Amino acid sequence: MKAFTSAVRIRTQAKTEEVNITNQVEAVILESEIQEGMALVFTGHTTASIHLNNGDRDLEQDFHELLNEMVPNRPTFRHNKGDYGRNADAHLKSLLIGNSVTIPITKGRLALGQWQVIYFSEFDGPRSRLVSVKVFGVE
């Protein structure tokens, strides 16, 4: 079994946004030369997330509107009162969505569903971000 590690760098442009990173992750898979295995896509940022969804701009907006309704940035959040800033909502959204996905690799390609893409979700931008990609499998 072979393991290959790389990263995808992102520069977000807005406070909240969805960044489709599927092509960048596919490039890592090709570079790894792994034909059958798994790809772990992970962000260590605590105000961002990684998830799979339908690659649709309207759905991206709906997603953030729903999260804003579920987790408004209340001034009563303890984190917002402390020395760490005013971004408690971003941390809580990240907890809800998660920080990684694992995707099968078949014949050297990501085995995503027909409409699935890999999203990096920004909840506290704009920022420079790093997404780790670990690929395991056989050539």
Residue that has been written with the tokens 């050539």 in this structure = 139
Closest CA to 48 of 134, 135, 133, 126: 126
* Fold classified for 2-72+86-138: Jelly Rolls (2.60.120)
Sorting pLDDT into bands at 50, 70 and 90, what band is 112?
very high
pLDDT in tens, 77-96: 888 887 777 899 999 999 99
Quickly state the pLDDT bin for 30 (edges 50, 70, 90).
very high
> What's the chain's average pLDDT?
96
Phi-psi region of 125 (alpha: psi -120 to 50; beta: other; left: phi over 0): beta
Give the neighbor-by-neighbor strand order of the sheet with 116-122: 17-20, 116-122, 48-54
pLDDT digits (tens, 9 = 90+) for 92-109: 999 999 999 999 999 999
